[in-house]
A and B are shown apart, each in its own frame.
Chain A
Amino acid sequence: MKKNRGMSVGMTYAALIIGSVIMIFPFVWMLLTAFKTNAEVMQIPPTILPANWNLDSFVKATDLLPFGNLYINTILLIVGRVICAVVFCSMAGYAFAKLNFKGKNFLFTLVIVQQMIPGQIFIIPQYQMIAKLGASNTLFALIFPGIVSAFGTFFLRQAYLGIPDEVGEAAYLDGCNRWQTFIKVMAPLTKASVAALSVFTAVFAYTDLMWPMIVNTDINATTLSAGLSSLNGQFSTNYPVLMAGSLLAMLPMVALYLLFQKQFIEGVAMTGGK
Chain B
Amino acid sequence: MKKKAKIDQNHFWGYLMVAPTIIGLLALNVYPFLQTIYLSFTNAKVFGKYKFVGLSNYMKMITSEEFLRATWNTILFCILTVPLGVLLALVVAVLLNAKIKGKTAFRAIFFLPMVVAPAAVAMVWKWMFNAEYGIINTVFHTHVDWITDPNVVIITVAIVAIWSAIGYDAVLLLSGIQNVSKSYYEAAGLDGCSKIQQFWYITLPMVSPTLFVVLIMRLMASLKVYDLLYMMVGEGNPALGKAQSLIYLFYRESFVSGNRGYASAIVIWTVLLIGVVTLLQFLGQKKWVNYEV
Contact = CB atoms under 8 A, between A and B. Distances in A.
B48 interface: no
B180 interface: no
A52 interface: no
A246 B124 contact: yes
Nearest to A257: B115
Contacts of B24: 88, 147-148
A214 B35 CA distance: 19
Nearest to A148: B24
B271 A242 contact: no
Query: Chain A: interface residue count, which band?
Result: 35 or more
Interface in A6-20: 8-9, 12-13, 15-16, 19-20
Interface string A97-121: 0011110100100110010011011
Contacts of A67: none
A100 B95 contact: no
A139 B217 CA distance: 30
A102 B123 CA distance: 52
B32 A92 contact: no
Contacts of A26: 121, 124-125, 128, 163
Interface string B204-221: 000000000110110010
Contact of B117 (A41, A124, A224): A224
Contacts of A8: 98, 195
A82 interface: no
Interface residues of B, number: 92
A175 to B, nearest CB: 13
A101 B10 contact: yes
A127 B100 CA distance: 50
A12 B111 CA distance: 18
A195 B92 CA distance: 26
A256 B114 CA distance: 13
A225 B230 CA distance: 12
A-side interface mostly = helix
Contact of B96 (A16, A120, A125, A257): A16
Contact of A203 (B7, B114, B250): B114
Interface string B1-42: 000000101111111011011101101111111011001000
Interface in A73-102: 87-89, 91-92, 94-96, 99-102
A265 B168 CA distance: 8
Nearest to A228: B119
Interface in A53-85: none
Interface of B: 7, 9-15, 17-18, 20-22, 24-25, 27-33, 35-36, 39, 91-92, 95-96, 98-100, 104, 106-125, 127-128, 130, 132-133, 135, 138, 163, 166-168, 171-172, 175, 195, 213-214, 216-217, 220, 224, 226-227, 230-231, 234, 247, 250-251, 254-255, 260, 263-264, 267-268, 270-271, 274
25 contacts: A16-B96, A20-B109, A22-B163, A27-B116, A30-B127, A44-B138, A101-B14, A110-B25, A118-B224, A120-B270, A124-B32, A124-B36, A124-B39, A124-B267, A126-B32, A148-B24, A177-B13, A210-B226, A225-B119, A228-B123, A242-B127, A246-B124, A247-B120, A265-B108, A273-B217
Closest 5 CB pairs of A and B: A148-B24, A101-B14, A125-B32, A246-B120, A178-B13
Given A87-B20, A120-B224, 7 more contacts: A19-B95, A23-B113, A101-B15, A127-B255, A178-B13, A209-B226, A249-B117
